[in-house]
Amino acid sequence: MGAVRRPRSRFEQRGFSAGAVQHHHPGRRADVRSASTGTQIKPFLRSNYDSSTGISSPREQINEITSYLDASMIYGSDEARALALRTLGGAGKLKTSSGNLLPLNTFGLDNGTGGSVDPTKFYVAGDLRANDEIGLTAVHTLMMREHNRLAEQIAIVNPSWDDEAIYQRARKLVAAEIQVITFNEFLPALLGDAAPSITGTYDANSSAAILSEFSTALFRVGHTMLSPQLMRVQTDGTTERQHPVATCSCEMPSSRWKT
């Protein structure tokens, strides 16, 4: 009986040698082997997991962000990040940079940018992926500006309120706006008649955690919605069709989505 040949992987079909495609685990030095086609590395990142799972029970990932529609992508999922993004100057606002853009990461927050490029050249927001592609950056900038717009209005109506009270009220309103957009517009457009209803009674005993199957598989449908290009829209509403902006579909460890 002749030898059974395994099918070539998609990496080998693209000219990469099987011996040259290595798994790269965080905290470990990547194993690089020479091959006839040169040295190629394909990094595979494992999600952080709960070490008490995975032996007699299914492996579960560690929560890194909140699972509620609480606008944590704008404000952060931990106190340190939330405080670093605030001006704390009495107006309840979020920090900005020149041009009323997102602040630059001059305060050393984890930003998921990697590489040798100066981290202070990147924007920073509540979520690590604010620099991943221009669409995300634009939405983060929009919601930061919305928070500061609301903070100004709240301060006028409530002149005796301090920074914390203004900030929390503006944050609550921004979160409500995101919830309304999600349930009244986005989900119906995505799911049609299968979209969940927003009517009902809040149940404090219901878990809002995201299933691993959803975070690592179904949730990736969002990546399929990215257009390869974004049109440049001028201040007068016209579009610059000759020079669209290229977008980038970036993969992140699934633990960022797992809650």
The identity of residue 23, as a single letter, is H
Query: Tell me: the pLDDT tens digits for 132-163?
Result: 888 889 999 999 999 999 999 999 999 999 99
Q: Is 74 helix (H, G, I), strand (E, B) or coil?
A: helix
For residue 104, the model assigns a pLDDT of: 95
Q: Which of 1-10, 89-98, 133-142, 175-184 is least confident?
A: 1-10
CA separation for the pair 20, 211 (Å, rounded): 34
Q: What is the mean pLDDT of residues 197-215?
A: 78
Query: Tell me: the pLDDT tens digits for 223-237?
Result: 788 777 777 777 888
Question: What does the mean pLDDT of the chain come to?
Answer: 78
31: pLDDT strictly greater than 50: no
H-type helices in 26-65, by residue range?
A: none
CA separation for the pair 129, 123 (Å, rounded): 10
For residue 244, the model assigns a pLDDT of: 66
For residue 39, the model assigns a pLDDT of: 74
Task: State both tokens at 146.
Answer: 């919305």
List the beta strands (DSSP E) in 98-169: none
Tell me the percentage of the chain whose pLDDT exceeds 70.
75
Task: State both tokens at 25.
Answer: 């685990």
> Helix %, strand %, coil % for the chain, to 5?
35, 10, 55
**How does residue 36 score in pLDDT terms, banded at 50, 70 and 90?**
low
The identity of residue 229, as a single letter, is Q
One-character DSSP codes across 88-115: -SSS-PBP-BTTTBPPB-TT----S--S
**How does residue 251 score in pLDDT terms, banded at 50, 70 and 90?**
very low
For residue 246, the model assigns a pLDDT of: 62
Task: State both tokens at 77.
Answer: 């999922």
Q: What is the mean pLDDT of residues 176-199?
A: 88
Per DSSP, 39 falls in state: -
For residue 212, the model assigns a pLDDT of: 79
222: pLDDT strictly greater than 70: yes
| Residue 22 · residue 30 · CB < 8 Å | yes
pTM value is 0.72
Per DSSP, 49 falls in state: B
